[in-house]
Chain A
């Protein structure tokens, strides 16, 4: 499903070159549940961004579902991102002027889906995440756990093959965090490949596979 070969990525931060990813080679089969762990600055978010096609590696090959991402144009990468990948962020990234339902609908709107199809899909997702009674609420009227659930619903809107979560529980209390992790795992159980960046060992411990990153290098854990 996901195959990285010799991925290298470095960038400049405040005049200094940071080598965020060094010769990373990695294979993640479809349906896997992987935790990417490591101290901050170890390159785990960069890895997630490369896998999510938000960032381009300087060197190396990246195959997503058999497609060579390096050979794609900017527009092609956007299309692939839209169709194959769902993002869940630590800070939710909901658009504050839109209601929960409109936030969930956004990827479908960008994809040009018919309004009638969109409506049905959004209703289904909200129901699935137990948010039906919050559909008309704006993000500032929702609790943290509810916001993250809206964000997950949005990530699932295009039925992606891969779900990328960057510290999804970082801004949540324990209970809501556990709830969110359970939802993500539920999606994984239905066949979605799940990658979670976290430095919470309790969450990392639940994954099928753990990848430790230190200074841009991968150390595979048990």
Chain B
């Protein structure tokens, strides 16, 4: 028998039991679709996190006030609060040989007003170095001016959304806005960058760190971002930071330094594992679909007993009958896998359109693995019914038993 005829016969047989075929295809479609969609979501989450962290720069070290103890002795008896990080700490860190940029960060909230419009804003105090460290791009005007970090000039750089809310479509450059009880001149507008871990950069106002200290009447920094001169210099930079802070804080190592790099690979690993897990759970539905194929094919074999007897009377060998029924299972699983991939692609496309910021995408292995598992389970579970068909006694089969 020619292979093409084998599949044509199988297609006609499937066409002869439309409802059953449609239900089978549906279950395969759901199985394959689920594997691809769920891995795409997992992969999307992984990319989202990785991309967000990459926005921060990968040679980045984050200095947080306070020490997170993972080893060591019992806590000190005397109550001890960590010293604040100050602007002078940040300036001292800037002297390191392995340090390229230091951006002190202060974050607070302040009421902003301009021409009668009033709104609460997230205000970030920093220096010009925040721009290279966070890869910020300026759309109009300029960023914070270079110069001494402790100079409190009354200038502000606005995020995209803040700008719209305060100025509508007017040109904001050179205009004055009021933040709290102080006035600031708008010198620049940021390009929309989207979400960056923790902060939505379109929804803020950036002012010099010294101005922020005055505005919030506080000298303690939220954190200090330090960019090393290269990836390989991160350990040295970290050592320098700890040495410097210890020297400045009377021998206490009361800060935590997080390497962006390590954090990134940790998250990457966790989310990758999560994607595999979710994919494997979805693969269970493929096994279920495989068992459904077996069930349906067993029903087909018992409903088509007479046909099998006839085929044998017409000279079909056991191998041919086996082949005919296996071809049907194979067609079911291949078609199901195909529609499943299409459905998954459709959903992924839809999600990508609805949430453009979420980088949903199936990793290349997902559709390949899903389709091959589907076809393999179709053949595996189709084997038993096909073998049963091939072994039917022709005389009994023709009699309908």
Instruction: Type the 1/0 row for B313-352, where 1 means its CB is closer than 8 Å to any CB of A.
Output: 1111111100000000000000000000000000000000
A75 at the interface (CB under 8 A from B): yes
- Which one, A55, A78, A81, A98, contacts B12 given CB within 8 A? A98
- A158-B398 contact given A93-B306, A97-B12, A112-B1, CB 8 Å threshold: no
A82 at the interface (CB under 8 A from B): yes
A89 and B316 contact, CB distance less than 8 A: no
A95 and B307 contact, CB distance less than 8 A: yes
B13 and A97 contact, CB distance less than 8 A: yes
A147 at the interface (CB under 8 A from B): no
Report chain B residues within 8 Å CB of A33. Answer: none
- A74-B318 contact given A49-B395, A109-B1, A112-B1, CB 8 Å threshold: yes
CA distance A78 to B317 in the complex (A): 5
Minimum distance in angstroms from A110 CB to a CB of chain B = 5
Restricting to A71-106, which residues have a CB under 8 Å from any CB of B?
74-75, 78-79, 81-83, 87, 89, 93, 95-98, 102, 106
CA distance A75 to B309 in the complex (A): 15
Report chain A residues within 8 Å CB of B307. Answer: 95
Which of chain A's residues has its CB closest to B306's CB? A93
Instruction: Type the 1/0 row for B259-278, where 1 means its CB is closer than 8 Å to any CB of A.
Output: 00000000000000000000
Report chain B residues within 8 Å CB of A112. Answer: 1-2, 5
A210 at the interface (CB under 8 A from B): no
- Which one, A78, A96, A102, A154, contacts B316 given CB within 8 A? A78
Instruction: Type the 1/0 row for B1-32, where 1 means its CB is closer than 8 Å to any CB of A.
Output: 11001000100110110000000000000000
B319 and A110 contact, CB distance less than 8 A: no
B394 at the interface (CB under 8 A from A): yes
CA distance A154 to B312 in the complex (A): 14
A87 and B314 contact, CB distance less than 8 A: yes
Minimum distance in angstroms from A68 CB to a CB of chain B = 19
B287 at the interface (CB under 8 A from A): no
- Which one, B9, B12, B310, B317, contacts A74 given CB within 8 A? B317
B197 at the interface (CB under 8 A from A): no
Minimum distance in angstroms from B195 CB to a CB of chain A = 57
Report chain B residues within 8 Å CB of A102. Answer: 12
A75 and B319 contact, CB distance less than 8 A: yes
Report chain B residues within 8 Å CB of A107. Answer: 314-315
Q: Count contacts on A: residues with CB < 8 A to the other chain.
A: 27
B292 at the interface (CB under 8 A from A): no
Report chain B residues within 8 Å CB of A129. Answer: none
A216 at the interface (CB under 8 A from B): no
A54 and B319 contact, CB distance less than 8 A: no
A67 at the interface (CB under 8 A from B): no
Which of chain A's residues has its CB closest to B391's CB? A74
B398 and A55 contact, CB distance less than 8 A: no
CA distance A52 to B312 in the complex (A): 11
Restricting to B376-401, which residues have a CB under 8 Å from any CB of A?
394-395, 398
A174 at the interface (CB under 8 A from B): no
- A89-B398 contact given A81-B313, A110-B1, A112-B2, CB 8 Å threshold: yes
A109 and B319 contact, CB distance less than 8 A: no
A142 at the interface (CB under 8 A from B): no
Counting chain B CB atoms within 10 Å of each CB, which of A109, A110, A154 scores highest?
A110
Report chain B residues within 8 Å CB of A189. Answer: none
B15 and A79 contact, CB distance less than 8 A: no
Minimum distance in angstroms from B393 CB to a CB of chain A = 8
CA distance A98 to B318 in the complex (A): 22
- Which one, B9, B317, B318, B394, contacts A54 given CB within 8 A? B394
Minimum distance in angstroms from B241 CB to a CB of chain A = 78
CA distance A159 to B12 in the complex (A): 26
B394 and A97 contact, CB distance less than 8 A: no
B173 at the interface (CB under 8 A from A): no
CA distance A105 to B357 in the complex (A): 58
CA distance A60 to B18 in the complex (A): 47
B316 and A110 contact, CB distance less than 8 A: yes
Restricting to B233-266, which residues have a CB under 8 Å from any CB of A?
none
- Which one, A55, A79, A96, A158, contacts B317 given CB within 8 A? A79
B residues in contact (CB < 8 Å) with A: 1-2, 5, 9, 12-13, 15-16, 306-307, 309-320, 394-395, 398
Q: Nearest 7 CB-CB pairs, A to B?
A: A82-B315, A97-B16, A78-B317, A54-B394, A93-B310, A75-B317, A107-B314
In the complex, 30 of the A-B residue pairs with CB atoms within 8 angstroms, ordered by the A residue number, are A52-B313, A54-B312, A54-B395, A55-B394, A75-B319, A78-B316, A78-B317, A78-B320, A81-B313, A81-B315, A82-B316, A83-B315, A93-B306, A93-B309, A96-B16, A97-B12, A97-B15, A97-B16, A102-B12, A109-B2, A109-B5, A109-B9, A110-B1, A110-B311, A110-B316, A110-B320, A111-B1, A112-B2, A154-B314, A158-B315
A residues in contact (CB < 8 Å) with B: 49, 52, 54-55, 74-75, 78-79, 81-83, 87, 89, 93, 95-98, 102, 106-107, 109-112, 154, 158
A78-B317, A158-B315 known; 14 other A-B pairs, CB under 8 Å? A54-B312, A55-B394, A75-B317, A78-B312, A81-B315, A93-B309, A95-B307, A95-B310, A106-B314, A110-B1, A110-B315, A110-B316, A112-B1, A112-B5
